[in-house]
Amino acid sequence: MACLSPGVCHRHPNDRCLIEEKRKDGDQLKPKASLLLLTYNQEAIVKEAALACLSQDYEPLEIVFSDDASTDGTFAMLEEIARSYEGPHNLVVRRNPKNAGIGQHYNEAIAASTGELIITAAGDDISEPDRVRRLIEAWESAGRAPDLLSSHFTIIDSNGRKWDKVETHDLGRASLSSWTKGHPFTVGATHAFTRRLFDEYGPLGADVWYEDPVIMLRALMSGGR
């Protein structure tokens, strides 16, 4: 199901309460995840990134295509993909009326989502089909306590050729005291974080250009749950 909107996608006020849905066997509850694809002027490469989001093998999953007022055909491509999508995931397509920048774009995309765990990707990032499922499994195995998870990633050049695998740091070893000595290495496009980080600390500043350290610092301050 797709929701196409030039601005904010309006929802029924009770939608945010639908955090968990029952497994088909009815025995356990699975957390609802939101996968955000944040785009800006990426017409040439956004199709592959969008289709990778739609190919995720986890449910219940909500996918938000959010465009920051691209001046090329990026948003038109997202709309075209959404119109032809008939898969199981709930799909929201939205666009900022004017360019908001990274911090505010994150805020708008998160506000348009309802999942308990929020997973991000940029318009030039291609998620493996099991990305969301493996992140949920890792989060569940830790008792849903971590507020931030990060994935390793592989660099792909403009010809689609894969290069080196890049490993991010083990966030389980990070602390506020170690933060002063050096930030753990992660990349925002590989992040998965809890909604409570934004419920507790509020939206990102509109002048934020690099969301990675802000979200990481929030997670360290929360100390997990």
Average per-residue pLDDT in the chain? 81
What is the percentage of the chain residues whose pLDDT exceeds 70? 74
pLDDT band at 144 (very low <50, low <70, confident <90, very high): very high
**Tens digit of pLDDT for each residue in 115-130?**
999 999 999 999 999 9
What integer pLDDT is reported at residue 210 of this predicted model? Answer: 81
Residue given tokens 């083990």 in the structure block: 170
What integer pLDDT is reported at residue 224 of this predicted model? Answer: 56
CA distances from 214 to 65, 122, 175, 188, 204 (A): 22, 17, 14, 10, 8
pLDDT band at 5 (very low <50, low <70, confident <90, very high): very low
* CATH superfamily membership of 2-8+33-222: Spore Coat Polysaccharide Biosynthesis Protein SpsA; Chain A (3.90.550.10)
What is the percentage of the chain residues whose pLDDT exceeds 90? 52
What integer pLDDT is reported at residue 168 of this predicted model? Answer: 66
| Whether pLDDT at 35 is above 70 | yes
Residue given tokens 């507020």 in the structure block: 147
Lowest-confidence range among 51-60, 62-71, 122-131, 154-163? 154-163
Question: Which two three-digit tokens encode residue 23?
Answer: 């497994």
Label residues 191-204 b or e (16+ Cβ within 10 Å = b).
Answer: bbbbbebbeeeeeb
pTM metric for this prediction: 0.81
Better-predicted residue by pLDDT, 141 or 182: 141
**Tens digit of pLDDT for each residue in 13-33?**
233 322 233 334 443 589 999
pLDDT band at 181 (very low <50, low <70, confident <90, very high): low
* All residues at 6 or more sequence positions from 214 whose CB lies less than 8 Å from its CB, including other chains: 204, 205, 208
